Copies of this chain bind each other. A is one copy, B any other.
Amino acid sequence: MSTGLERLSLNQKTTNSWSLPEAVNGCVRAGLHSIGVWREPLADIGLGRAKALIDAAGLRVSSLCRGGFLTAADDVAFEAALAENTRAIEEAATLEADCLVMVVGGLPDGSRNLPAARARVSEGIERLVPVAAKRGVRLALEPMHPIFTADRGVLATLGEALDIAEPYPAEHVGVVVDSFHVWWDPQLEEQVARAGRANRIASFQVCDWITPLPADSLLSRGMMGDGHIDFRYHHELVTAAGYTGDIEVEIFNADIWAADPAAVLETMKRRYLDLVVA
């Protein structure tokens, strides 16, 4: 019998207090089939043990979070970032993750040169594509809400991410459509359609834009339904664009992190069924 939850994935950041084994167990108990894994909790238990746990639980890995941080102006720091991304690609390959989410990084310290930082991202992706291709991994460029352009991700729009992805095969470079990051974009419809035509939607993530914005902007994401985003509309857009993959819920929010994770999963399931895929 269909539960309607077949494509729902828990990005483990949503249950930030859980270790990876706890999150895997939580998914199984909640009847989910997919998980988005973060590298830090992965490192806590080790790649081999994580792979065994996830396989034993019968879960897919919808994404590994995250690679990126490619904007260093300094060459030594840039090469170190590439090496770190190579390790992340290795992990994504071992976990058979659908993609490696790339948060590209903000302006280098003291720099106000946004075009230069964006050019560095393109250079980094060019260097990483052969590494990803060799390991059969798909890099997923994540455009981030412009609230994060300065300090987290200089890619601000889906259109810009697609421009960077375009020279490379779609199976090695895709984009993330994260509702929180892209909902405001007046070109959302045309760029999601463009991403679909090029088979580049690597991940669809959902969480809400809430107001007033919490004091810590990094923790400003809300549970679906608590804010201003029309998720059903976004789901229709990615579906019309041909996306059939997992739908990941990734929420950075102090209140949600302080709540009982199992209860958060139940709310997430209900909101997903009522507001995203209904």
Picked from B149, B156, B211, the residue with its CB within 8 Å of the CB of A151 is B211
The 9 closest A-B pairs by CB, nearest first: A215-B215, A149-B184, A146-B184, A112-B230, A160-B186, A150-B228, A213-B217, A146-B146, A151-B211
Chain B residue contacts of A147, Cβ below 8 A: 145-147, 213
A253 on the interface (CB 8 Å rule)? no
Q: How far is the CB of A109 from chain B (nearest CB, A)?
A: 11
Interface status of A107 (Cβ within 8 A of chain B):
yes
Number of interface residues of A (CB under 8 A): 33
Against B, the Cβ 8 Å flags (1 = close, 0 = not) of A213-238 are 10111000000000111100100000
Can you list 21 residue pairs at the A/B interface with Cβ under 8 Å? Answer: A112-B228, A112-B230, A114-B230, A118-B186, A145-B146, A146-B147, A147-B147, A147-B213, A149-B184, A150-B184, A150-B209, A150-B228, A155-B186, A156-B184, A156-B185, A157-B186, A159-B187, A160-B186, A212-B216, A212-B217, A215-B215
Chain B residue contacts of A233, Cβ below 8 A:
112
A184 to B212, CA, bound (A): 22
Please report the C-alpha to C-alpha distance between residue A213 and residue B149 in the assembled complex, in whole angstroms.
12
Question: Is A107 a contact of B228 with CB atoms below 8 Å?
Answer: yes
Tell me which residues across on chain B come within 8 A of A159, comparing CB atoms.
Answer: 186-187
Q: Least Cβ distance of A46 to chain B in Å?
A: 34
